[in-house]
A and B are shown apart, each in its own frame.
Chain A
Amino acid sequence: MSKTVLIVDDSIYMRSLIKTAMEGAGFEVVGEAQNGESAIDLAVQLQPDLITLDNILPDMMGFEILKVLKDEEVPSKVIMVSAVGQQTVVNKGLSLGASEYIVKPFTEEDLLKVVEKVLA
């Protein structure tokens, strides 16, 4: 059974980019969220194996979602997706429960490498 993925990003093009890459690699994209609220709902509901989480969303920050996921005891691995690879941002995400991070823009290979690492 293939691994399940939830994609959280406000940009439809980015979601499309990630979805294409993941499905191409054999993952099952079980949900897409374009804001924090739906992201939390879907994550709790679907309990996917992996979540790609954009840090900047229209309604909340990715960090806040990480906290909620932790409180709700969602077991999914989370890959933070950040526009700027600032060290403080990265460290904060990792300390809040994210497994890895990736800086936008990235190529398909970059993404899959990180995913592989997280799910290994």
Chain B
Amino acid sequence: MIKRLTNLPIRQKFAVIIIPLIVIILAFDYLQVRYHYLDYSDSVRLNKAIRVGIEINHVVHEIQKERSISSGFLANQGESFGVKLNKQRESTDSTLQQYYNELTNGDLEDLLELHRTDLDQLNAYFDKLSTLRKNIDEHRISSESSIDRFSEINNNALNTVIKLIDETRDKEIAQQIHAIIYFLKSKEFASIERAIGTQAFSRNHIDFTLYNRFTTLVANQNSYLDAFNIIANQESIEYYNQIVSGEEIEEVDRMREVLFANDTLSENPDHWYESSTIKINRLKDVEDYMSDNIQKRTQNIAQTSVRNFWTFLILDVTIGIIAFWLMTTIVTNLLKNVSILEAYTRRISAGDMTKKVVIPTKDELGQYANTFNRMVLEIRKSQFELRKQRDKAKFLYKNIYGVSLVVFENIEQGIFLLDKEFKISKFHSKAMKEIFSNDRIAGENFANFMRPLILPRELEALEMFMRHLFNEDMDEEVVNQLNPIDQVKIHTEQNGIVATKYIRVEFTRIFRKEKIQNIMVSVSDETESILLQQHLNEAEKKKQQETERVLSILKIDPSILRGFLHNSRKMLKSISERYEKNENDEYGELLSFTFDIIHNLKGNAVVIGMELMANKFHEIEDSITALQSKEVRGKDFLAILYEVDEADRMIAEIAEMLYKIINIYKKFPAEGDSVSNIMVIDSLERGAELIAKEEGKTVNLTFDNIDNVVLPEAYIEPFKDMMIQLIRNSVVHGIEAPSVRMSEGKVIMGELLIELSKSDNEMFIRYKDDGRGLDIERIKRQALDKGLVTDTDLKGMEEFEIQSLIFREGFSTADKSGTNAGRGQGMHLVKSILDQYKGAYDITSVDGKSFEMIIKLPVLNVEKGDEE
């Protein structure tokens, strides 16, 4: 419960404090207001009751008089009091009327409502007066009875008065009301005493019963007076003592003693009545005085109550408003400040420290705010410092560490550090893994790491070397000369495949504070370069051998060499044949047979000066000699056979080389220039491609037999010029546009063919395309148009003659003159060249299919060459 209370937010805590307070205050206010109101209403009601009571008392007072007079009237049979009685009845009626008037007064409603029954009863008693009076007038009632009847009415009236007024919350008033009640009772008894006295003196006699009653009356009257004297206030008592004294009162006492002595009752009843009435009137004075006092007092209380009520209300409301205003102001301010602080702390916890918290008050919260601000300032300073450090660290990381990592990730070298215990550093380049095909690198002892990879001897040396590396007394350069794995061959295994690698390992000392802290080790995989080197070496060696062979061949006459080679192969073959036929495993014989043949061949090689082969055969001889000393088995002989095969292969290679050389001689019989040949071909190919491109066509130029026939130097240029003209003519006129070719079922690419051949004294150049062929009619028309021939000429010409018109100067069949044709020059040039070199030609044109021209040129020089 307490915990729940203490855990409440401040706002609710305030509510917990304030709400009960407000409730208590309101309850207190209610009680106060109610108290004052009750005082007021009580006083007002009492005041009204007293007003009514006073009226009733007036009536009672008159009835008391009437009772006495009636009593006297009845006692002496109407001899006296007759006049007085009527007068008194008027007085009684007058006061009764006043009482009734008072009852009808408007402001008494609530009182009447409250005492309805009592007042109704009283009024009924008052109504009995008329009957009683009638009985008195007619003497139908005794004096004693009349007293009783009147007393009955008065008794009821007094009781009603008591009921009306005997209800107040004010102790003092209650006491004074009781004093009045005692006084009224006493006065009633005095009044009855007067009646009895009047009766007795009227009769000059008092009987026993009446006497007793008289004594009781006086005793009781005095008893009530005693009670009055005890509880009435000093004022009333003093007033009583002052008023109820003097001659008249003493006279009443005197006559009372006469009655009490009961000797001779010769006193005048009128005198008794008058004296008693004076006394009773005095008593009535006291009664009125007291009633008046109480009435004043109740009025005063009512006024005070009202005043107190309003004073309290105004004071209360004022204080309430002030208190509420103060409370609201303070609580609102506190809550506001608390919420500012709260919002601020929330912002800070969210990391925003850019603003200060501002609390305008100088109370504890204000001081907290200042403290907060100082704290935040400190935090910001520290944060700034931290951020600076962090940025620096980040910078370092990015620029140094980051770079190192990138280097480590990508460098092809294995790089790592060794500590003094030869352990490999955690950070090492990625290449390490690839080089050593090993994942377990970091933290491994380098010697252990290398153990399975290198020879024990090397390992031992490595361990010693590493110790030296950390020995600062030794010069680094000197130590590095001892590096046993500067270049080392290792065998790594990955996925069961063993690979041989050549690695270079270099060691560099790393100093920190002038002490050797670490050794940086770099490992490079040099397998590829070393293998390449090996290949190069081998290739070099082989080349040397080949050169040697070539040189040895070139020294020897080709026919002799050919004979040697032929013979050697045959002989070597006989060895393998003999081996295959060797069913009895007679290796000894086979061996000597082989030896004889090899020896023979060696002799031949020596004779013709073939040192290479002589050496080889000598080697085989040595091998055989080595075997001859012991028993020969199949396995041993296989080694010899292998060497024999090798010799055979060498002979084959020499033979091939010889063939190549012969071919070269064939191609270039004179000082023929194959380079020019190739260049011509190349330039024609490019020319054809260029022309075709310009014409929007594609062609393929094929050369036939051009490798075998070498153009003499003198023919190269004319050949090229003629071919270019023919190619141009074909591409421009002969080869159809691609769309036409397609519709005629030809391949789109036009085919051009140049073929060389020669006989003993003539060279043949065959040129052919797969175009539309020569258009005879068009040639005719063109020749006529150009004025080359006449109609008459044409009629007498053969087809070949007409075709030849294209070679005439100024002939061009193309309608427009382009770069490639139409200048009437091209074909004429061909003719000119042919004429110049005494050549001849022949044309075969198939309509829509092909154009073919065969050129014959005389061979310029007699060639020398070995044709086999």
A residues lining the B interface (CB < 8 Å): 11-14, 16-17, 20, 56, 83-84, 104-105
The answer to whether B222 touches A17, judged by C-beta atoms less than 8 angstroms apart, is: no
Query: How far, in whole Å, are A87 and B453 apart by their CA atoms in the complex?
Result: 128
Q: Which residues of A contact B212 (CB under 8 A)?
A: 20
- Which interface residue of A13, A16, A17, A20 has the most chain B CB atoms within 10 A? A13
- Decide if B215 touches A104 in the complex (CB within 8 Å): no
CB-CB under 8 A from A17, the residues of chain B are 215-216, 219
Of B224-232, B285-293, B632-640, B839-847, the segment with at least 4 beta carbons within 8 Å of chain A is B224-232
Contact of A83 with B260 at beta-carbon distance under 8 Å, contacts A17-B215, A105-B219 already known: no
Known: A20-B212, A20-B215. A14 touches B222 (CB 8 A): yes
- A66 CA to B219 CA in the complex, in Å? 23
Residues on the B chain within 8 Å of A84, using CB: 226-227, 230-231
Contact A104 B223 (CB under 8 A): yes
Instruction: Specify which of A12, A13, A105 is in contact with B224 (CB 8 Å cutoff).
Output: A105
**In the complex, are the beta carbons of B260 and A13 less than 8 A apart?**
yes
Which residues 240-263 of B have a CB within 8 angstroms of A?
A: 260
Please list 27 pairs of residues, one from A and one from B, whose beta carbons are closer than 8 Å in the complex, sorted by A's number. A11-B218, A11-B219, A12-B260, A13-B215, A13-B222, A13-B260, A14-B219, A14-B222, A16-B215, A16-B219, A16-B260, A17-B216, A20-B215, A56-B226, A56-B230, A83-B230, A84-B227, A84-B230, A84-B231, A104-B220, A104-B226, A104-B227, A105-B216, A105-B219, A105-B220, A105-B223, A105-B224
The CA of A11 and the CA of B189, in the complex, are separated in Å by: 16
Q: Please pick, from B223, B230, B231, the residue contacting A14 in the complex, using a CB distance under 8 A.
A: B223
What CA separation (Å) do A13 and B226 show in the bound complex? Answer: 13
* Closest chain A residue to B214, Cβ basis: A13
Q: Are B218 and A13 in contact (CB under 8 A)?
A: yes
Chain B residue at minimum C-beta to C-beta distance from A14:
B219
Chain B residues numbered 275-324 whose CB sits less than 8 Å from any CB in chain A = none
0/1 string, B196-231, CB within 8 A of A gives 1:
000000000000000010011011101110110111
Closest to B178 in A: A84
Smallest CB separation, A18 vs chain B (Å): 8
Least Cβ–Cβ distance between B341 and chain A, in angstroms: 66
* CA–CA, A15 and B262, complex, Å: 17
Q: Bound complex: CA of A13 vs CA of B211, how far in Å?
A: 11
B215 and A83 form a contact (CB under 8 A): no
Residues of A within 8 A of B219 (CB): 11, 13-14, 16-17, 104-105
Nearest neighbor of B257 in chain A, beta-carbon distance: A12
Residues of B within 8 A of A (CB): 212, 215-216, 218-220, 222-224, 226-227, 229-231, 260
With most chain A CB atoms within 10 A of its CB, the pick from B212, B216, B220, B231 is: B216
The chain B residue with its CB closest to the CB of A54 is B226
Which B residues touch A11, using CB under 8 A? Answer: 218-219, 222
- Which A residues are CB-close (under 8 A) to B224? 83, 104-105
- With a cutoff of 8 Å between Cβ atoms, the chain A residues found around residue B226 in the complex are 56, 83-84, 104
Give Cα A12 to B222, complex, Å: 10
Q: Which residues of A contact B231 (CB under 8 A)?
A: 84
**Chain A residue contacts of B230, Cβ below 8 A:** 56, 83-84
Q: How far is the CA of A103 from the CA of B126 in the complex (A)?
A: 31
Among B223, B230, B260, the one with the most A-chain Cβ atoms within 10 Å of its Cβ is B223
- How near does chain A come to B424, taking the closest CB pair, in angstroms? 115
- The residue in chain A whose Cβ has the minimal distance to the Cβ of B256 is A13
Report chain B residues within 8 Å CB of A105: 216, 219-220, 223-224
9 shortest A-B CB distances, which residue pairs? A104-B223, A105-B220, A83-B226, A13-B218, A13-B219, A105-B223, A14-B219, A83-B227, A17-B219
Most buried by A among B219, B220, B224, B227: B219
Min CB distance B498 to A, Å, is: 130
Query: How far apart are the CA atoms of A56 and B229 in the complex, in Å?
Result: 11
Chain B residues whose CB sits within 8 angstroms of the CB of A12 once the complex forms:
260
Residues of B within 8 A of A56 (CB): 226, 230
Complex Cα–Cα for A104 and B224 (A): 7
**Residue of B whose beta carbon sits closest to that of A89:** B230
Set of chain B residues within 8 Å of A104, measured between Cβ atoms? 219-220, 223-224, 226-227
In the bound complex, residues from chain A placing their C-beta under 8 Å from that of B216 are: 13, 17, 105
Closest Cβ of chain B to A101, distance in Å, is 14
Cα A115 to Cα B260 with chains together (Å):
26
Residue of A17, A104, A105 with highest tally of chain B CB at under 10 A: A105
Give the CA-CA distance A12 to B340 in the complex, in Å.
93
Report Cα–Cα, A115/B755, bound state, in Å: 186
CA distance in complex: A13, B216 (Å): 7
Residues from chain B with a CB closer than 8 A to the CB of A20 are 212, 215
Contacts of B260 in A (CB 8 A): 12-13, 16
The chain B residue sitting closest to A85, CB to CB, is B227
Query: In the complex, A38 Cα to B703 Cα: how many Å?
Result: 191
A12 to B216, CA, bound (A): 11
B227 contact set on A, CB distance < 8 A: 83-84, 104
A58 to chain B, nearest CB (A): 12
Cα(A13)–Cα(B218), bound, Å: 6
Q: In chain A, what residue has the closest Cβ to B189? A: A105
In the bound assembly, the distance between CA atoms of A4 and B218 in angstroms comes to 25
Residues of B within 8 A of A13 (CB): 215-216, 218-219, 222, 260
Task: Looking at the assembled complex, report how far the CB atom of A15 sits from the nearest CB atom of chain B, in whole angstroms.
Answer: 8
Q: How far is the CB of A115 from chain B (nearest CB, A)?
A: 17
CB neighbours (8 Å) of B223 from chain A are: 14, 83, 104-105
